[in-house]
Structure 1
């Protein structure tokens, strides 16, 4: 296993330590490693979805009703 050193502002380090503790990690290093792994996995998912979209064929522009339906769906899910 490799090791890196990272300098963080005290406020950021405190936040990371707090999150690590709240999420049951034994230490900050374990928490940060897990977060980096999750970010990497998510990036792979996003790239796969982008490729799927590109390979799905030509796109067609959305009309106003479709855009408004998307906005309403997002509002109902996330508030606003």
Structure 2
């Protein structure tokens, strides 16, 4: 693990210390690592959403689409139509 030193104004240092004690972190480093992980996850999600938004349209996602997915899973799992209906 690498070490990084940061400088914070007193009010931010006090905020970090308060978060560490109130939210159960062992150290300020644990708190900062968690913030970085969340930001990394947020950026990854943002990039996925942007990629999806810029991708070409596909078939409509409606009840028929989801029923088709369910049917594929049923066939894959070997569940008979009768068993699905509880007959």
User: Unaligned stretches of 5+ in structure 1?
Assistant: 58-80
Equivalent residues in 2 for 1:36-51 (5 A)?
36-51=36-51
Relative to the length of structure 2, the TM-score reads 0.62
Displacement over 6 Å in runs of 4+: none
Query: How many equivalent residue pairs?
Result: 57
Matched position secondary structure for 1:37: helix
Q: What is the root-mean-square deviation of aligned Cα atoms in Å?
A: 1.0
Relative to the length of structure 1, the TM-score reads 0.67
Structure showing greater Rg: 2
Shift of residue 56, structure 1, vs aligned partner: 4.0
- Give, in whole Å, the separation in 1 of the partners of 2:19 and 2:42: 20
